[in-house]
Amino acid sequence: MKKLGIVLAGTVLLAACGQDKAELKTDDQKGSYALGFVSAEQMQQLGVLDKEAFMAGLKDGLVENAEGQLTDEEMEAALQAFQQRVMEAQQEKMKEAMEQQQKDMEEAGAKNKADGAAFLEENAQRDGVTVTESGLQYEVLASGEEGAQSPTLDDTVEVHYHGTLPDGTVFDSSVERGNPATFGLKQIIKGWQEVLPMMKEGDKWKVVVPSELGYGEQGAGPGSDIGPNQVLIFEIELLDVKGDE
């Protein structure tokens, strides 16, 4: 029988089809078993696989010069239809995953917003805390020399910083890395753009950034500890104003 050009992942697997235990002594046997096992797992994840029919087709196909139960044309049409169903099933799963991700994000955002508002209200009552018109809060921990330079939005600065969430989670820290960070003020979050020009070289401030001055409703993205509507806490030490670089 003429072999079809369409090949689905996993159609060459389970050479010991129908046996409870396969002999796995040689490298070829072990490799064949591993291929079969992994391929079977992948095939099951498709969600539209009829296992009994699949195993029957596999068994027939492993017989040399075997005649299948379908003609080449029927197989071609069946595979095309099957692939279409697989694609639709995968798209549906992807849609469901995205909807769940959006739901989780909205729930996390609502919780972070409520928790953040409570934290900001409580922190604002602490001695030494100043609240700006935008809602940003800061506390002076150490002061540089009188008359030291302050940056503008056009400047590049060198800073040490330690960033945490209200629950104490450290999300970023040049202090822990042991290397100060250098960046232009136009490249950073709004909260930093507001507070750094208020500081001078040598100053060290504790700064609480409301979410709208940080990463907002979207958070900092996949893999980050900074979720949606997350209040951010920084200890920032302004080491050097490098000017417009």
User: Which residues belong to the active site?
Assistant: 161, 171-172, 189, 215, 234
Alpha helix ranges (H) inside 152-241:
174-177, 190-195
* Two structure tokens written together for 138: 């800061």
Q: How far is CA 27 from CA 30, 34, 143, in A?
A: 5, 10, 69
What is the DSSP pairing of strand 232-243 with strand 181-184? unpaired
- Please tell me the distance from the alpha carbon of residue 121 to that of residue 170, in angstroms, as a whole number: 22
- Please tell me the distance from the alpha carbon of residue 130 to that of residue 127, in angstroms, as a whole number: 9
Dihedral of alpha carbons 95, 98, 102, 108, sign: positive
Q: How far is CA 51 from CA 23, 34, 58, 101, 127, in A?
A: 23, 19, 10, 31, 69
Q: Which residues, 6+ apart, have CB-to-CB distance to 163 below 8 Å?
A: 170, 171, 172, 173, 232, 233, 234
Residue 227: closest CA among 241, 239, 211, 205 = 211
